[in-house]
Amino acid sequence: MESFDVDPLPERLVARLRRAQRVVVFTGAGVSAESGIPTFRDALTGLWQRFDPMALATPEAFEADPALVWGWYEWRRMQVLRAQPNPAHRAIAELANRVPQLTLITQNVDDLHERAGSPAVIHLHGSLQAPRCFHCARPFAELAEPLEPEQGRALAPPRCRHCGGPVRPGVVWFGECLPERALSEAFAAAEQCDLLLSVGTSGLVYPAAQIPALALRAGACVVHVNPQPQALGGAAEFNLAGLAGERLPALLRAAFG
């Protein structure tokens, strides 16, 4: 494995990207953090600072206090709506125009990839923009404008028009399984790619953390883009240490001009 934290980028890596036919980009919280969205494990602020986010992200928490949980997720959705895609999001969207096939897999629950121009994003952990009924699981497409954080933390969730049940955030909570179809598509793409970019992810959340390892075992080149170097121990790995919003545009310029 090789690490590079200064330019110019290694020609061997640039050449691998130029000839790649099937590229997978796997993104985590670090990409959205560069747009100002706090990571899930960051300390909460303001009205929410006395709450543990881990304790709010469970089905049991929603059943116990749906207004509290819905209010917190609406606050998070407001943060996302105020944020803008950063150069990393835009570079990934541009890369899709430069290679024959690109699959974008994300652990993030925001829509910044879509707003940057990436279609058909595989959301492993769900989306804040796709709530559904807690009881019958039908999608709910009538989200209102989210509350300002100073307007209070509790907010009664809307009701499902089909069964009357409370509408829940469309994210994967602790204790829940990842969407089977999304996970299957992600694993298949990793096993079939010839180059995988792992961007802004800690590699600690399973089963999603298996994705780079699957690509590596299948013979793909794996590139880690993170402020801190990361490794799986394979010979076909590269570390691009630094911010994704700087390293990804630089890699595209080096490979495609």
Q: Which pair of structure tokens corresponds to residue 199?
A: 């961007």
- 22 Cβ contact partners less than 8 Å away, ≥ 6 residues apart: 99, 100, 101, 103, 189, 192, 193, 194, 195
Q: Which of 113, 123, 125, 224 is catalytic?
A: 125
Q: CB neighbours of 94 closer than 8 A, spacing ≥ 6?
A: 117, 252
For tokens 């304790």, the residue is 55
224 - beta bridge partners? 198, 239
- In the numeric block, which tokens belong to residue 194? 């010839």
Q: Report helix, strand and coil shares of the chain as percent, to nearest 5.
A: 35, 15, 45
End-to-end distance of the chain based on CA atoms, in angstroms? 26
Exposure letters 174-190 (e unless 16+ CB within 10 A, then b): eeeebbeebbebbbebb
For the chain, give the longest Cα–Cα distance. Answer: 59
Confirm whether 125 is a catalytic residue: yes
Active site residues: 125
